[in-house]
Structure 1
């Protein structure tokens, strides 16, 4: 390997929105995630609705005419 071309490697704590922290190594100085293995429905077995950036409202707005025609 060539010297002085690799990024600095840091020991960090990746933080989740649920409050869970995981110690790992990264070239970034901080990592923040919205969902992790401690709160993800696949791993916990609990149903959880994750709406990032209003995706559900955006979908309903986009297809409002379609659903109105179907119900009538």
Structure 2
């Protein structure tokens, strides 16, 4: 590998937005938010929409209730009956 062309690889905490599940991993992403991890160190916090904790493929079931279909959400958003 050529030196100086790759982004910095460091530890970050990813948090599942729907369940609050957190895990520490290596990444090139960074964030302005930080969180204190179990080891006492602070790491950048990256919020993700879905992880292995909430994805139906890994869990075998849905963890969150569906808030209705697209039409229902559209009608609710624009106060249509």
User: TM-score with structure 2 length normalisation?
Assistant: 0.52
Unpaired runs of 5+ residues, structure 1, are 61-72
Q: Which has the higher contact order (CA 8 A, sep 6+)?
A: 2
Greater fraction of residues in helix: 1
Q: What is the alpha-carbon root mean square deviation over aligned residues?
A: 2.6
Unpaired runs of 5+ residues, structure 2, are 32-45, 76-81
Q: Which residue of 2 aligns with 1:42?
A: 57
Provide runs of 4+ in structure 1 moved above 4 Å: none
Greater fraction of residues in strand: 2
